[in-house]
Amino acid sequence: MRRKTSKHTVVQVYRIDWMSYRNISINDLSTRKSLVNVENKTARLYFVDAMRAWAILMMLQGHFIDGLLDPIFRDNSNIVFEIWKYFRGITAPVFFTVSGFIFTYLLVRGDKIGRDNPRVQKGLRRGIQLLFIGYLLRMNLFGLLQGEVYDSFYLVDVLHCIGLSILGIIGVYLLTSRLKKVIFPVVLLGITMLLFVFEPAYKSMQLAFLPQAIANYFTKINGSVFTIFPWFGYATFGGFLSLLFTRYKHSKYLYPIAIVSAIVIGAGLIFYSSDLFLEMSRLTDIQLFADIFFNNYLFIRLGDVFLVFAVFMLIRSLLKNRTILHIGQSTLSIYIIHFIILYGSFTGLGLYRFFHHTLTPAVAIAGALVFMATCTFVALRYETQKAFIKLNIQTTFRLIWAKTELLVAYLAEVIKTAFFRLLRRIGLVKS
């Protein structure tokens, strides 16, 4: 009787808990969505979300065309291809800068500072989550079944860098939270300048003494697409911009001054930063400045970021379309879906495997449009159903856990009964 009561109690408690959880979740879902929407409206900036939407769509078409277009059509003398390649190069700097901007803007928005700031814990979870998803997407199940982990699993990509950048910004924030407010933005800007200026000195590092999984965060020699140096610099610069925006967000002339400043600084970095470093090399005879002149992509791309900010701030009143904002707020889901479809996460059976460098321009462009639409549609559908999907997953795990507990209890009782029967048969226990 005791065993039956125990089973019944477990099942009954589970059912009551599941039903109450389900009812609360479903009944409060609309309320929760309303609260989240209100919070997002007060916390988010329309033009920044629109920038992130633009960046993720640019990334989708860039990855698709770059991975599937036949190399014979990659003609650098073709003006259309040159324009496409230049704009593709803007995508990552904009995405990293906007990610740093949004996270830092939300981080300092409340009244609490330091460890008391709830955004610190959320940021830590987010950063670790992005690192975990980054590795998960590079996992190959067929390799695991054979007891092998491929080298590509250890390569570092966008999600790894953004996750680590979030953790890095949190670290800087905690170290400077008890100091004067001006210290935090100054340190963020200083990190950007150090990483950009000294890029020629560390870009060729091999770091053979480090384990490959760690070295891949700092060197591209093993095949990493992105490394924390220098890409962390764009995230910290985005954080610096967000602090400026937060400081002057109530100013009447914020946008006019910001737009003009972004255009002037952006154009200056694009057209004159290389000459500036060349002149500094001549005056100081420091080879580092000459090396920057010969490969000045970081500061030129930073100038591009300024111009993109200027354009989106200029048309900010036109960027309140709900679909655009939802795309900007669903970039992680879009990225995951595009990675699975294009590169074949988990199975290796993606478009990249079957059509790698085989498509003509017409097919590649049409395919890119379909690819963008598909990834975006699936991601937005997932976002609208995410609460119910999570509810079903949690319910399933609760059911499995309850059944597992019952099975363990039953097996324990069977083993116990069999053990005592054995002892009675050999005479060690009386009947």
**How do residues 223-267 score in pLDDT, each as one tens digit?**
888 999 999 999 999 999 999 999 998 888 999 999 999 999 999
**Both tokens assigned to 258:** 């910001």
8 A C-beta contact, residue 138 and residue 152: yes
Q: CA 310 → CA 50, 51, 52, 107, 242, distances in Å?
A: 13, 11, 14, 23, 14
Buried b (16+ CB within 10 A) or exposed e, 289-325: bbbbbeebebbbbbbbbbbbbbbbbbebeebeeeebb
Distance CA 106, CA 129 (A): 18
What mean pLDDT, rounded, does the chain reach?
87
Distance CA 90, CA 59 (A): 10
What pLDDT shows up at residue 319?
A: 87
The percent of residues above 90 in pLDDT, for the chain, comes to: 62
426/374: higher pLDDT: 374
Domain ranges of the chain: 75-247, 254-319
What pLDDT shows up at residue 198?
A: 96
What pLDDT band is residue 68 in, cutting at 50, 70 and 90? very high
What pLDDT shows up at residue 39?
A: 42
Long-range Cβ contacts of 408-413 (<8 Å, 24+ apart): 409/3, 409/6, 409/7, 409/10, 410/7, 413/3
User: Is the confidence at residue 125, as pLDDT, over 70?
Assistant: yes
Q: Using N-to-C axis directions, what is the helix angle for 361-425 and 331-343, rounded to 10°?
A: 90
Of 193, 185, 190, the residue nearest 104 (C-alpha): 185
This prediction's pTM = 0.82
Q: How far is CA 264 from the centre of its chain?
A: 30
8 A C-beta contact, residue 101 and residue 237: no
What pLDDT shows up at residue 430?
A: 64
Q: What average pLDDT score do residues 166-186 get? A: 95
| CA angle (334 as vertex; 337, 61 as ends), nearest 5 | 90
Read off the amino acid at residue 193: M
